[in-house]
Amino acid sequence: MRNPFIVLLLILIGACQRDQVVGPLDDFYQRWHLIRYRPIQDTKWTFHDTDAYYDLEYRPDGAIVYRRNGASGQGNCCVPTAFTREGITIKYSDWVLCPTALCGTVKKTTITQLSKQSLELTDDYMVSQYEAVN
């Protein structure tokens, strides 16, 4: 007769290996285009449709570069320009401040899905999904 503890342990190990949706963390360092987002407690997605093609790039040196139609720029008010990464946790810093805006900034986010072609970030308020810029 098999030991029930060993059987349970094998089931748990198999379940943990199937749940991994975050691929190689080096895939994070590239250009990303926001495609949709939703409040964390909601299931309805809002698709990101704007007047231009916007993307952002996370660089290995901790810089964030914003682009509009391929041209780099400062980014909108209240966006971070730097970050540090600890595993799947991203901590933002150095925000673009504007004199007419009161910023309620997100300090950290978690990588919940990552592959060469897709990225999902989750903070305490929103889930945002991105596609890789080719």
Measure the CA–CA gap between 33 and 119, rounded to whole angstroms: 9
Strand partners, 131: 33, 118
pLDDT at 71 over 80: yes
Q: Is the pLDDT of residue 130 over 90?
A: yes
Cα–Cα distance, 98 to 70 (Å, whole number): 23
Q: How confident is the model at residue 12, as a pLDDT?
A: 47
For residue 68 the two structure tokens come to: 């509009």
Assigned domain for 99 exists: yes
User: Which CATH number characterizes residue 72's domain?
Assistant: 2.40.128
Residue 2 within any structural domain of the chain: no
Domain of 37, in residue numbers: 22-132
| Position 95 in a domain | yes
Q: Summarize pLDDT for 110-127 with one digit per residue, the tens.
A: 999 999 999 999 998 999
What one-character DSSP code corresponds to residue 22? B
On whether residue 11 sits in a domain, the answer given is no
14 band by pLDDT with thresholds 50, 70 and 90: very low
Q: Is residue 13 part of a domain?
A: no
On whether the CB atoms of residues 52 and 68 are closer than 8 A, the answer is: yes
- Confirm whether 45 is domain-assigned: yes
Whether 6 maps to a domain, the answer reads no
DSSP assignment of 52-106: S-EEEEE-TTSBEEEEETTEEE--STT-EEEEEEETTEEEEEEE---TT------
- pLDDT of 15 reads 45
* CB 112 within 8 Å of CB 22: yes
Contact 39, 126 (CB under 8 A): yes
The arithmetic mean of pLDDT across residues 68-94, rounded, is: 90
Query: How many structural domains are present in the chain?
Result: 1
pLDDT of residue 18: 41
Give the pLDDT band of residue 74 (cuts 50, 70, 90).
Answer: confident
State the pLDDT at residue 2: 54
Selection from 77, 73, 113 nearest residue 95 by Cα: 77
pLDDT top residue among 39 and 48? 39
Q: Which residue has the higher pLDDT, 26 or 15?
A: 26
The answer to whether residue 5 sits within a structural domain is: no
What's the whole-model pTM score?
0.78
According to the model, what pLDDT value does residue 3 have? 57
